[in-house]
Structure 1
Amino acid sequence: MSQVFIYAEYQVSVPFTEIDWVPINAEMKKFAGLISKTWLSGINTNTVGGFYEFDSLKNAQNYIDGLLIPFTKQINGTLSVKLFDGIVTKEASADIGSPFYLTTSR
């Protein structure tokens, strides 16, 4: 699998404006295979999460195990994670203009 998406959300109530995201981004960039992350902030819930793109299932799982799960323990929070196959949905997503399929290099 050469394109994997992760949806992750921490069940905490922290306004995004209180998150020091600069060092978090720096730590994320150390993980092999991370292509992009879109930060998410829950409306009226202040949950924090993201939508990630990875180049393989192995690298996505390493990220979950190496960063998301340890951070969950650190903040004593609850984490929801879902993995998605980016290849099987490629044609349908490109047809509707998804930014993850705009280049032919993917």
Structure 2
Amino acid sequence: MSANKVFVYAEYQVSIPFNQIDWKSINLEMKKFPGLKSKTWLSGIKTNTVGGFYEFDSVENAQNYIDGLLIPFASQINGNLSVKIFDGDITGEANIGMNSPFYIAE
């Protein structure tokens, strides 16, 4: 699959209050991965699950991030990880119509 706009949704099934996460150092590590355009941190309401919504420039870079950071972190915290990769190119027109901040009308 070849896509120039790739989104990843990831969630760790653990209960960690967000204020106990060292997100500053994690952000620094994430920025080392090629192709990562952005991350939106997520914290589950009433569950304290931790996750994020990411944008990448390719499926390959998204997969490298999953393999190189998300999976090892799941082992480190002894948590289950749920990850999904989405093709952002195919949905472009629909997202422009909804004023998505990840898409700009041309």
Aligned partner letter, 1:15:
P
1:33 to 21, 32, 35: 35
Q: Which residue number corresponds to residue 97 of structure 2?
A: 95
Q: Secondary structure at the residue paired with 2:79?
A: coil
Question: Structure 1: which 5+ runs fail to align?
Answer: none
Alignment of 1:60-79 (within 5 A): 60-79=62-81
TM-score if structure 1 supplies the norm length? 0.96
Which portions of structure 1, spanning 4 or more consecutive aligned residues, are displaced by more than 4 angstroms?
none
Q: Which residue number corresponds to residue 26 of structure 2?
A: 24
Aligned partner letter, 1:30:
K
TM-score if structure 2 supplies the norm length? 0.96
- 1:14-73 per-residue CA deviation (whole Å, 9 max, x = no partner) reads 110111100000000000000000000000000000000000000000000000000001
Q: Secondary structure at the residue paired with 1:53?
A: strand
Give the fraction of aligned pairs with identical amino acids, expressed as a percent: 71
How far apart, CA to CA, are the structure 1 residues paired with 2:37 and 2:24?
Answer: 17
2:96/2:105 contact within 8 Å kept: no
Structure 2 residue 65 is matched with structure 1 residue 54: no
- TM-align CA RMSD: 0.9
Q: Secondary structure at the residue paired with 1:91?
A: helix
Question: Structure 2: which 5+ runs fail to align?
Answer: none
Compute the displacement of 1:102 (Å).
Answer: 2.5
How far apart, CA to CA, are the structure 1 residues paired with 2:49 and 2:77?
Answer: 13
